[in-house]
Homo-oligomer: A and B are copies of this chain.
Amino acid sequence: MTNNSIRIPSGQMQDVLHKLFLKHGFSEVKARILAKVHTESTLDGVNSHGINRVPLFIEYVEKGVVKVDAEAELSETFGNIERWDGHLGPGIINALKCTNRAVELAKLLGMGMVALRNTNHWMRGGTYGWLAADAACISIIFTNTKANMPPWGGKDSRIGNNPFIVSIPREEGHHVVLDMAMSQFAFGKIHDYKLRGEKLPYPGGWDEHNELSDDPEKILANERGLPIGYWKGSALSMILDMLVTLLSAGDSTRTIAAKEFETGISQVYLCIYPEIFSDRNLQEKLLDEIVEYTHDVEPMHPGDKTYYPGERAWHNRARNLKEGIPVNKEVWQRVIKLAEA
């Protein structure tokens, strides 16, 4: 919470967004789903890919980049792998459909995969990890994006930050959900540091002299982000782009980067159904052991705390459900205006 934020009850946010999406041509059902997903991402504390992104999403809808009525369709089947075509429909609707389908395939066969091409930005990747985990599945899900980081050794941005999600179901919804982009810092986060007049805690991109920098202003001027682990994240980003492109027969970051807007992206949804391994209690025990071991560790510096992936989202959700969701005042005003326009 900063001075510039207010707390909005989640029910109110969902109602405003529902109205907004209806106004912009979405069906009753889809408007409701989109409102729910954007609200849930914000509830979990991921405002950057929840409420904050709504104006940009609406801009894409108005420009026809996102096709309001289009929906992903099965195009080909190969064993336990399916290829779907997103027909440039809304990324959230397509991603939910493909996650649910990968869950279905996993429950039939132990493991299933859906590769999706021609889709749009899915907002928060973690949404689909939580969904798969709620359906008792392990998931490995990833996407390509426009180019926003230089490949290691190169000068121009030619690789995407390609979010990578892994989720594992746990009892009472305390799932483990990793949702990480290949960039050390999201550009949204770098922008926040700039607004606060602070440096990044670690280098996060390249300045105009081709030097690594922790100065948000210099990094934003060039839009050349730093991959996690330098050459390692660069390589991982490349190979994720190769996987989504090959498996979906869709567009790669190269093709996406050549478009005016980030659209027609490619994604993979892989689900595994661990309950076919039968002993749910053993699974919980093994998982609890790892969570405790990594969690209950002496802090490196006083006040440090170690979290398991997804733990903070879950804490935020509980708190924000009770107290309302912290939202930037200007962002909320823009959303209200869009809903009333």
A298 touches B78 (CB 8 A): no
Q: Which residues of B contact A238 (CB under 8 A)?
A: 176, 290, 294, 308-309
Question: With contacts A79-B110, A229-B229 known, what are 8 further pairs, Cβ within 8 A?
Answer: A76-B277, A140-B140, A155-B297, A176-B239, A178-B239, A202-B230, A238-B308, A249-B277
A89 at the interface (CB under 8 A from B): no
Interface bits A105-137 vs B (CB < 8 Å: 1, else 0): 000111101000000000000000000000000
A12 at the interface (CB under 8 A from B): no
A232 touches B180 (CB 8 A): yes
Q: How far is the CA of A206 from the CA of B299 in the complex (A)?
A: 13
Candidates B154, B159, B283, B304; contact of A299 at CB < 8 Å:
B154
A50 at the interface (CB under 8 A from B): no
A contacts with B, residue count (CB < 8 A): 77
Question: Min CB distance, A257 to chain B, in Å?
Answer: 8
Q: How far is the CA of A109 from the CA of B105 in the complex (A)?
A: 12
A282 touches B249 (CB 8 A): yes
Question: Min CB distance, A325 to chain B, in Å?
Answer: 24
Q: How far is the CA of A294 from the CA of B202 in the complex (A)?
A: 25
Question: Min CB distance, A304 to chain B, in Å?
Answer: 4
Q: With A158-B297, A246-B283, A309-B239 known to touch, is A80 a contact of B111 (CB < 8 Å)?
A: yes
A56 at the interface (CB under 8 A from B): no
A252 touches B290 (CB 8 A): yes
A252 touches B300 (CB 8 A): no
A276 touches B79 (CB 8 A): yes
Which residue on B lies nearest to A203, using beta carbons? B202
A241 at the interface (CB under 8 A from B): yes
A81 touches B306 (CB 8 A): no
Candidates B76, B79, B80, B168; contact of A243 at CB < 8 Å:
B168
**What are 13 contact pairs spanning A and B, CB under 8 A?**
A78-B276, A79-B273, A83-B277, A140-B140, A153-B297, A153-B299, A153-B300, A158-B297, A176-B242, A180-B229, A184-B229, A242-B286, A247-B272
Which residue on B lies nearest to A108, using beta carbons? B79
Question: Min CB distance, A193 to chain B, in Å?
Answer: 16
Candidates B206, B210, B274; contact of A247 at CB < 8 Å:
B274
Q: How far is the CA of A199 from the CA of B70 in the complex (A)?
A: 55
Question: Min CB distance, A258 to chain B, in Å?
Answer: 10
Q: How far is the CA of A287 from the CA of B254 in the complex (A)?
A: 11
A150 at the interface (CB under 8 A from B): yes
Question: Min CB distance, A221 to chain B, in Å?
Answer: 16
A151 at the interface (CB under 8 A from B): yes
Q: Which residues of B contact A80 (CB under 8 A)?
A: 80, 109-111
Candidates B150, B246, B293; contact of A168 at CB < 8 Å:
B246
Question: Min CB distance, A170 to chain B, in Å?
Answer: 10
Q: Which residues of B contact A332 (CB under 8 A)?
A: none
A287 touches B246 (CB 8 A): yes
A228 at the interface (CB under 8 A from B): yes
Candidates B233, B246, B253, B279; contact of A228 at CB < 8 Å:
B233
A305 at the interface (CB under 8 A from B): yes
Question: Min CB distance, A48 to chain B, in Å?
Answer: 16
* Contact residues, A180-221 vs B (CB, 8 A): 180, 184, 202, 206, 210
A293 touches B254 (CB 8 A): yes
